[in-house]
Structure 1
């Protein structure tokens, strides 16, 4: 299997910052695959300069992040991930909390094994035009990892096998995420092939990517293929969004939403689904979706004339950048206490790992996107990559890998890539 990262003219290495100064005025140039992928739609985002130079400048001025990148280069990402895991575990031990699996069993939750796969989630690259402070993937313009065509083609073959089966779950939801998945060469290929096979497609969009140079036809491409857009929008306040996601992100996000609306997204009767994603900006859980959604709809409609279908509320997972932030603030134990105290057996019954398989940019298999970022692979040693699978049906009945971070998915109303789990 070829797992060589594709680099769209970005610095080498997942944490490299050596070329930041020379990249300040860089603009993203679409690949040949992107240029050939889509036709013009009924509306396109307004022309805008790239967000990438601003993101790189913010990263360069962040001394804490620079120190983290230096440690990644010196010690390796795996070593930092193990350290992070030990910190979470020590926090739970200090609180006198049993391991997650034991808590599930004690609460009478049904055994955590995989049901038939209905969601094929593909993290097709870590390259992104943003560098959000809560990002559990640690994406940024400095990340080079991207899915090869060989891996993408194998994923399409698994989609074909699912479409050809007679099972009731033969229609998959193909969930494309990243990074900014749209900035990877395989994005339009995967969208086109998945829709050809009759599968639903989700694009996890940061909205600002719609305004990146070279993406002028992206809204039209998404609409042409009836892709469901699930867009990050952690607040309807500019100050809160920019604090969490970077300077100028809110204004660009609003422009992206308006362009999607102009193409019919979120408009009743259009058939083009637009969902927004909320995640907390502090040490607290996401509120109930049913309570927050009407407020979002009213505020965005009154202020900007924006409409959308649904709001998904996600808890921040205590991993990667959010974990680093908690450690810096001395609040990791407090946050773990909150998650444990808010454990909800009903939410645990609906967690996404029961019917979702997560595929990394290099083709490796995981029970969820969070396990992927912690390199916590499937328990069965013979199932490591998409090339080990003949069909997604092989996954049914397999044990699910869990660890201390899983309390984040079972707190409150629950949290998954599809929103609340209860």
Structure 2
């Protein structure tokens, strides 16, 4: 199994504090603010186009400790969604017409009620996406996962930084690539990645370095060729995601002295077309403790939704939340640089 690194929290790093992260990002000199960039693009204040995706972060516990993780997830994290919050999430899922439930973590499958969440969401007619790190499926207690995914037609979104071992292991830990390939081969054997089955398997790649992702369409074509040629693996789509200057990636940028350079790269690459399609405009994110956020990245910086509206799942009001003003910060440049970046890949 892969070697497990300590989280920022375990190391007692100052950057385990979201307040310190926000302060560090706020001190980086930039040519213009994100708000002024949106104003110039005619997008300020930024508001939702609707709520199409109900994203639930069920906890911080994970079987991996990836070097770029914006959640600072790992085996030593204990935060997990309570029954009360889970019950209310399920009420919202079953009583609204939000079409997609996007389950994330940590490794979301580690939550004791993850299976129930999937089954009831599917019974309510929702599309269910699971953000899977792949290696979880090789653990003895979770070997059932591929068959469970297939039985309930779960859309599997799996992280794989590169189609060769070096790039993936550099980010996700020694040995992770080999385990990920095993997991993907199991999913393929069940029909995942085959367009005729309807079982969707998408891969997510982020740069192994301080640069922006390449062209998503071009990379997808290359990845499909290489994954089939090298490992006999097929998948549906490739999502390219920009490394966000949050948590462990922020720690890397600070330690390597590249924070200012990286932020400048993001700021100068601001794309108003990408900004118009950012995920916070059609997504609502729920934290493990029940707080509502505009996106998973805001969640990891403790930036809840606009205080003028509902801020917890217990006060959920679909109409009010659909009209909220989205909370912004310098990290938002990560989603609007170049072709854009979201949980569904490029936005432009």
Place the TM-score, normalised by the shorter chain, in its bin: over 0.9
Provide the aligned C-alpha RMSD in A.
1.5
Match of 2:70 among 117, 136, 146: 136
Q: Residue in 1 aligned with 2:331? A: 405
Match of 2:24 among 54, 74, 87: 87
**Residue 281 in 1 paired to residue 208 in 2?**
yes
Contact 1:55 1:141 in 2 (8 A): no
Listed one character per residue, the Cα deviations across residues 100-141 of structure 1 (whole Å, up to 9, x for unaligned) are 112110232364012321100000011101000000000000
Distance 2:38 2:60 in 1: 32
Match of 2:282 among 355, 358, 363: 355
Distance 1:413 1:342 in 2: 9
Listed one character per residue, the Cα deviations across residues 203-242 of structure 1 (whole Å, up to 9, x for unaligned) are 0000101101111211111111100000001100101111
**Residue 113 in 1 paired to residue 34 in 2?**
no
**Residue 69 in 1 paired to residue 5 in 2?**
no
Name structure 1 gaps, 5 residues minimum. Answer: 1-50, 60-64, 163-169
TM-score (norm 2): 0.96
Q: Residue in 2 aligned with 1:253? A: 180
Is the partner of 2:302 in helix, strand or coil?
coil
Contact 1:347 1:421 in 2 (8 A): yes
Match of 2:130 among 173, 182, 203: 203
Is the partner of 2:142 in helix, strand or coil?
coil
Shift of residue 393 of structure 1? 2.8
Is the partner of 1:363 in helix, strand or coil?
coil
Q: Residue in 1 aligned with 2:38? A: 104
Q: Residue in 2 aligned with 1:148? A: 82
Match of 1:125 among 59, 84, 96: 59
Distance 1:383 1:110 in 2: 21
**Residue 264 in 1 paired to residue 198 in 2?**
no
Q: For residues 266 and 76 of structure 1, do their structure 2 counterparts lie closer, same or farther at Cα, with a shift above 3 Å needed?
A: closer
Distance 1:161 1:414 in 2: 32
Distance 2:180 2:152 in 1: 22
Q: Residue in 1 aligned with 2:250? A: 323
- What pairs with 1:166-181 in structure 2 (closer than 5 Å)? 170-181=97-108
Listed one character per residue, the Cα deviations across residues 38-75 of structure 1 (whole Å, up to 9, x for unaligned) are xxxxxxxxxxxxx4xx544x43xxxxx67x63435xx7
Shift of residue 186 of structure 1? 1.9
Distance 2:171 2:283 in 1: 28
Q: For residues 153 and 385 of structure 1, do their structure 2 counterparts lie closer, same or farther at Cα, with a shift above 3 Å needed?
A: same
Distance 1:345 1:110 in 2: 11
- What pairs with 1:43-58 in structure 2 (closer than 5 Å)? 51=1, 54-56=2-4, 58=5
Contact 2:310 2:320 in 1 (8 A): no
Contact 2:60 2:74 in 1 (8 A): yes
Distance 2:304 2:44 in 1: 22
Is the partner of 1:292 in helix, strand or coil?
helix
Q: For residues 268 and 382 of structure 1, do their structure 2 counterparts lie closer, same or farther at Cα, with a shift above 3 Å needed?
A: closer
Contact 2:309 2:321 in 1 (8 A): no
Shift of residue 268 of structure 1? 2.3
Match of 1:187 among 71, 93, 114: 114
Contact 1:114 1:400 in 2 (8 A): yes
Match of 1:414 among 325, 340, 344: 340
Contact 1:173 1:199 in 2 (8 A): yes
Aligned length: 348
TM-score (norm 1): 0.80
Contact 2:38 2:272 in 1 (8 A): yes
